[in-house]
């Protein structure tokens, strides 16, 4: 199947999946690919909110603007609409399965031996965001190179 769309899913859609969306959009554009990229959260707490401040900062430091993104909750229609649905950690993948997504992928399987991308929402400081960014950056690019 020719992959034309990818949805990245975390819990709140304010820290991790917005980074995945921003990184993927920039990368497919650089490669001249026409792929629809989006992100969503399984939770509803942050619907309509901007990405968290530290994600905006770490993205900006890496030349990516995610400021215009707004959080949304994943919907069942997404599972029909998107060719690939990718969870950022194993609980996201399990939540997706519970919601009826048949074959969600896990981002950490594309370069980090299936590791979970750590949830940085409760991180005390900015430091952990660099690690989260690098992990997402490597895995998103590997995913696109392997699957698109």
Sheet holding 5-10, edge to edge: 36-41, 5-10, 84-87, 105-106
**Cβ–Cβ under 8 Å, residues 27 and 140:** yes
Pairing between β-strand 5-10 and β-strand 84-87 as defined by DSSP bridges: parallel
Q: How far is the CB of 126 from ligand 4NP (least distance, A)?
A: 15
Tell whether residue 104 is a contact of ligand 4NP (CB under 6 A): no
Query: Which of 38, 89, 119, 137 does the annotation list as catalytic?
Result: 119
CB nearer to ligand 4NP: pick between 2 and 122:
122
Q: Give the Cα separation of 125 and 20 in Å (integer).
A: 20
Nearest to 18 by CA among 67, 76, 80: 67
Any contact of residue 69 with ligand 4NP (CB under 6 A)? Answer: no
Kindly provide the b/e burial profile for residues 86-125, where b requires at least 16 CB atoms within 10 angstroms of the residue's own CB.
Answer: bbbbeebbebbeebebeebbbbbbbbbeeebbbbbeebee
Contact between 121 and ligand 4NP per CB under 6 A: yes
Tell me the residue length of the chain: 148
Taking the least distance from each CB to ligand 4NP, the nearer of 11 and 84 is 11
Report the residue number whose CB is nearest to ligand 4NP.
Answer: 12
**Nearest residue (CB) to ligand 4NP, 16 versus 25:** 16
Site string for ligand 4NP, 22-51 (x = CB under 6 A): -------------------x---xx-----
Q: Binding residues for ligand 4NP, per CB under 6 A?
A: 10-16, 41, 45-46, 119, 121
Which residues are designated catalytic?
A: 10, 16, 119
């Amino acid at each position: 199947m020719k992959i034309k769309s990818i949805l990245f899913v975390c819990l709140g859609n304010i820290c991790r999946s917005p980074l995945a969306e921003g990184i993927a959009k920039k990368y497919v554009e650089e490669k001249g690919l026409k792929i629809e990229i989006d992100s969503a959260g399984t939770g509803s707490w942050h619907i309509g909110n901007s990405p968290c401040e530290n994600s905006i900062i770490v993205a900006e430091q890496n030349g990516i603007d995610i400021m215009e993104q707004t959080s949304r909750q994943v919907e069942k229609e997404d599972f029909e609409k998107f060719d690939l649905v990718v969870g950022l950690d194993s609980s996201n993948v399990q939540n997706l399965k519970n919601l009826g997504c048949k074959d969600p992928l896990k981002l950490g399987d594309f370069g980090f031996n299936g590791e979970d991308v750590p949830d940085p929402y409760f991180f005390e400081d900015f430091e952990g965001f660099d690690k989260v960014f690098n992990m997402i950056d490597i895995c998103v690019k590997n995913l696109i190179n392997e699957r698109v």
